[in-house]
A and B are shown apart, each in its own frame.
Chain A
Amino acid sequence: MARYLLSKLFEAALAIWGVVTIVFFVSRVLGDPTVLLLPMGASQQDIDTLRAALGLDRPILEQYGIALLSMLRGDFGISFQHTRPALDVVLERMPATGMLAGTALFFGTLIGAVAGAIAALRRGTISEFVVMTAALLGQATPVFWLGIMLILFFSVQLGWLPTGGSGSLAHLILPGLTLSVFVSASIARLLRSSLLDIMREDYVRTARAKGLMPRTVFFWHIARNALIPVVTMIGIIAGELLGGSVVIETVFAWPGVGRVIMQAIQAQDFPVIQAGVALVAVIFVVTNLLVDLLYGVLDPRIRQR
């Protein structure tokens, strides 16, 4: 177990380093920040002074080393737009993103699990057909379109809910619902097919041959095994949602991480982009690490490797 954990931690560190490195070099290729920082028509001397101040006159590898070391200390530089530490700009958006992701994950998983289980247990019936058609539609519908339709109906037509922004529970309902639809549809479809696969396993027949009640067979023998791939999927979705859903945060003007990165890209605010991307990478890697650990709890074969 300790070795498993260590190798996973090593992989995680490697992944984050990779992302940070790519972002560093890509941003150097994209442009010279001094041009953006200084007013138009600044003298060459001003430019050189600033370049020296920012350390941009040093060899690229040296810059990279310095950047890496300061990133390790959590220093991503000062945001050009906000003139505050870039990491702070990104981090203060985390609660909003976390709230939206948590809502979507909670309701999405709940609805998806129930729907997937119904579809598998009522195989070949009208309930399976209805659930699976709904799930297919839910997964195939682009979230931005669904979001806009919901705004048109509930906010514009009925006037029940705000069209965007944040601050109250009412603000959370529409973006939360939009994301829940997508999450629950994905989970329902995967859980259904996973359950149907496991139901055919020999050990399920063994469980029945022992005379166990159908409830016991379902929860202990079928669901226990069918959940393993579903947990992976929930982990991936959690990572994506916690990294900020750019599209949904934009449609609903939700002040989350995705939106702040989006705005930083438009404004070419490199420190914020770097901090944002690094944060998203860390979140993604950490959720994956948690999933791997949960995997170990669910599957003894992995735990003992």
Chain B
Amino acid sequence: MKPLLEVRNLTVEFNTASATVHAVNDVSYTLAEGETLGIVGESGSGKSVHALSMVGLIAMPPGRVVRGEVLFNGRNLLALSQRELFDLRGKEIGFIFQDPMTSLNPVLTIERQIAEPLRRHLGLSASQARKRVVELLELVGIPDAERRAGQYPHEFSGGMRQRVMIAIGVSCNPKLLIADEATTALDVTVQAQILELVRDLKKKIGTTVIWITHDMGVVAGLADTVQVMYGGRIMERGPVRAVFNDPRSAYTWGLLKSLPHGSQRGVKRLYQIPGNPPDMTREPVGDPFAPRNRFATERCFRETPPLVDAADSVSGHKVAAWYDLRQELAKLEAASHD
């Protein structure tokens, strides 16, 4: 498949008076047309910042793209003029943001907020836009769309607002849809409905999707490829099944181990990754996860491991680690039997 998005060596910093935050460090990956990529990581892993920085949505200053290229359909987004970015955002790349409570403007009607990109990018007239807004609201499963369009965000529930956000995101049929923690603020049943809607929409309009979340479960149900980020770097990426069944990064392993299992009963405590999130103001040297990694070798602290093909796994499964997780786990297993 032809690549839609190629990110090469993307490095983003935030410069404040007291420190420099190394938010994204040397991130490279390729996204094929029609693919759904799930990006997983904790707060501060650089997962949101890397996506926002691609289209100039981080505050600059203090943010700064230090190096890298982001090729979207062969065009380097980082070299675009402001005007070209305005034309691209919302039209070719749609966004769905976290927390629908604060991501919609409280004083404008839903109709106006969905119609804005339609009128701006597709040049629709007011009446054409109105018709399309109602269609979009129906598409995202909002009943009584005609009447609801004239209402304000506070008249919608959290789940309904998230549906509106999705309608805005897909309004101009973007080639790429970036969802940033789009289900995080919702309760679990609503979350499931929204995921169902996104899967459904993907089938209908065939958009390529980047789904950013800290929830491994969401990724498992939605994505083709998963990319695990930590400390502004990609730790591991690959087909969802391969990464979930055969993780090669100690961080991925820790994340998977900390998930509750259906078979787990009683008082058994969930696994917790030891230590604290990394200090992003330090010069990024070595494997960022090393201080919390029980399998870390001395080399992990000195040298940054490159993202390379995982040995004996499916194509596309890549990991950045100096240690061999399979070997370490086998040793652990053997020790527990003694």
Contacts and interface: CB of A to CB of B under 8 A. Distances in A.
Give the size category of B's interface with A: 20 to 34
A301 B154 contact: yes
Given A205-B97, A301-B154, A211 B86 contact: yes
Contacts, number: 84
B90 A209 contact: yes
The binding surface of chain A is classed by DSSP as: helix
Contact of B88 (A211, A213, A225): A211
Contact of B105 (A203, A211, A213, A304): A203
A206 B106 contact: no
A209 B108 contact: no
Contact of A299 (B98, B107, B116): B107
B90 A216 contact: no
A207 B107 contact: no
Nearest to A222: B105
Contacts of B108: 220-221, 224
Given A201-B102, A202-B97, A202-B102, A212 B107 contact: no
Given A211-B86, A211-B89, A206 B105 contact: yes
A58 interface: no
A299 B106 contact: yes
Given A205-B103, A300-B106, A211 B91 contact: yes
A213 B120 contact: yes
Contacts of B211: none
Contacts of B165: 206
Give the size category of A's interface with B: 20 to 34
A207, A209, A299 pick with most chain B CB within 10 angstroms: A209
B103 A203 contact: yes
B62 to A, nearest CB: 11
B284 to A, nearest CB: 26
A304 B116 CA distance: 24
A210 interface: yes
18 contacts: A202-B99, A203-B102, A206-B103, A206-B105, A209-B55, A209-B89, A209-B90, A210-B89, A211-B85, A211-B91, A211-B120, A212-B90, A212-B117, A213-B120, A221-B108, A225-B105, A300-B106, A301-B154
Given A209-B94, A221-B105, 14 more contacts: A202-B103, A203-B105, A209-B55, A209-B90, A210-B90, A210-B95, A210-B116, A210-B168, A211-B88, A212-B116, A213-B120, A224-B107, A300-B154, A301-B154
Interface of B: 55, 57, 85-91, 94-95, 97-99, 102-109, 113, 116-117, 120-121, 152, 154-155, 165, 168
